[in-house]
Structures are given as structure tokens and as C-alpha cells.
Amino acid sequence: MNETKESRAFNRLVELTAQLRGPDGCPWDREQTPMTLRGDLIEETYECVEAIDERDSEHIKEELGDLYFLLTMLSYMHEQEGKFSVSDVLDTVSDKLVRRHPHVFGDATVADSGEVLVNWNRIKVEQEGRKPKDSILDEVSKALPPLDRAYKLQKKASKVGFDWPDISGVIGKIEEELEEVRDAIGSHTDGGGDAARDEVEAELGDLLFSVVNLCRFLRIEPSVALQRTNVKFTTRFKHVESSMKVSGQEMKQENLAVMDTYWEEAKKR
């Protein structure tokens, strides 16, 4: 088979990774381990999501490249330890894709995407020998960020019918949890000590969980929605900062009314 443009590019990436990890390579790259790169992997993933949100193809290309490099680096580290090779990683995922898509690569037929997921889970148990989970919630990784994990836990529960019949119940639950937060804050303000503070934390967690549930009900990824607000807040706050600097005023509590004026100006812009 002739070498394709894609295979040449990937082979080059693997060779560069090996050189960076080699005796005459980069000290920083040689010092890294799979454990030290965990944070980088999460950070680069979110940067890629941000680029996708921006719909900036050049930025997306760059961030995908960073992810490719990290994944290649992590694979090559294990190859150096003799545990598995980079090609093993690629062959493993390719074999899995073929095995779990018999409706594409085999004779199976499916009616819709829901049936695809049913077959996917059945193949994991029957063909791959995966032990069925004691709970469907055990299928959700504990390593996920809390916001994303809450969303996926709720999706799993919903699949077996544990869900609100309509959106009014979801909104009602948010209102209920908000009232419980108010009550807990009242206890904390009245000098309830650490126990009251723990109660506030617990009630705020319940409120956040309920808001995530509303996102799920509306088929909105909560982390994506929150990131959108983060970007919006950052843009508006920077406008306040620059406007205050131009007007020669200091960013401090006493000038809050002025800052609010610039904030509203940023919203209109």
C-alpha cells in the first residue's frame, strides 16, 4: 500500500516525539511522565473546545495538533517502558471501531442511533468480556470534572426512566433548592459555625446539580454553556478595566457605580 499524506505526517510526528524523548532531545520532554502530563491533557482538551466554540478553523487546527502531540507522547512513553507501542494504540482503537460498528463493517442492521448504543453496550459485554457494572452510574468515569460528571450521571439515570416528566418539574426543583440555599445561608449568617457552612456547601451543590439537570433536559452541555459565559464575562470585564484606566479611575469597591456603568455599556456593545 502506498504511503498516504496522512501516514507520512503521523510518522513524522512519531519520529519527532522520539527525538524529543531521546538522549539528545529536550530536557523538559525527557522529564515528563504520564502522570505529569495529565493536567496538560485536560487543559489542551478544553483549549480545543474553546477553539471549536470560536469556529476558528486555524485555531482548531492548532489545538488539535497539540492534542495529537500529547496523545502521541503518552503512547510513546509507554512504548519506551515496553508496555505497548504507538501502533498498538492505533490498532486497538481501529479494531474496536470495527467490532462495535457491525452495522457498518458487518451484516447487522440498526433502526436508529439508539439501537447503535444498545448494540455498543452489548458488544462490550458479550464480545469484549467487559464485566457488567453493578450500577449504570458506574459507567461514568470518576475522573471527569464534577460539572461534566453530574451531566453524565443524570443522562444515565434518564435512560432507565428516572427523570422528570416535563420541564416544569426541573425548574420547580431549582426553585426548591434555591430556597434551601437561602435557609442554609441564614443559618450560617446567624453564627452556625462549621456545621452551617457545610450545610451551605451541600445545598449549593444540590442547586448546581439541579441547574445541570435543566441543561440536560434542554440538551445543552453545561460545561459549554458555562464556558460561553466565562468568555462573555471576560470580554465585558476587560472593557470595564480599559474604560476605568482611560478615565483615570481606580478599580475598587468605592467606584462600583462607575464600573457598573461601563459594564452595562459593554453589554450593549
Residue 84 lies in a domain: yes
Determine, yes or no, domain membership for 239: yes
Predicted pLDDT at 215: 96
Tell me what pLDDT residue 1 has: 54
Residue 54: predicted pLDDT: 86
User: Which one has a higher pLDDT value, 193 or 160?
Assistant: 160
Asked whether residue 215 is domain-assigned, the answer is no
Picking from 67, 92, 117, the residue at the C-terminal end of a domain is 92
Does residue 148 belong to any structural domain of this protein?
Answer: no
Position 192 scores a pLDDT of 60
Instruction: Please give the Cα distance from 261 to 258 (Å, whole number).
Output: 5
pLDDT confidence tier of residue 105, bands split at 50, 70 and 90: very high
Q: What pLDDT does residue 79 have?
A: 97
Tell whether 78 is covered by a domain: yes
pLDDT-derived band at 188, boundaries 50, 70, 90: low
CA distances from 110 to 77, 103, 113, 124 (A): 39, 7, 8, 17
Does residue 262 form part of some domain?
A: yes
Percent of the chain clearing pLDDT 90 (strictly above): 71
Q: State residue 48's pLDDT score.
A: 92
The residue type found at 5 is: K
Task: Please give the average per-residue pLDDT across 148-152, as a whole number.
Answer: 94
In-domain check, residue 44: yes
Domain range for 61: 5-92
Which CATH number do you get for residue 81?
1.10.287.1080
Does residue 187 have a pLDDT over 80?
Answer: no
| Total number of domains in the chain | 3
pLDDT at 90 exceeding the cut of 90: yes
Please compute, for residue 93, the number of CA atoms within 13 A of its CA located in the half-sphere on the CB side.
6
Is residue 85 over pLDDT 80? Answer: yes
pLDDT tops 70 at residue 173: yes
Give the whole-angstrom CA distance, residue 156 versus residue 150. 10
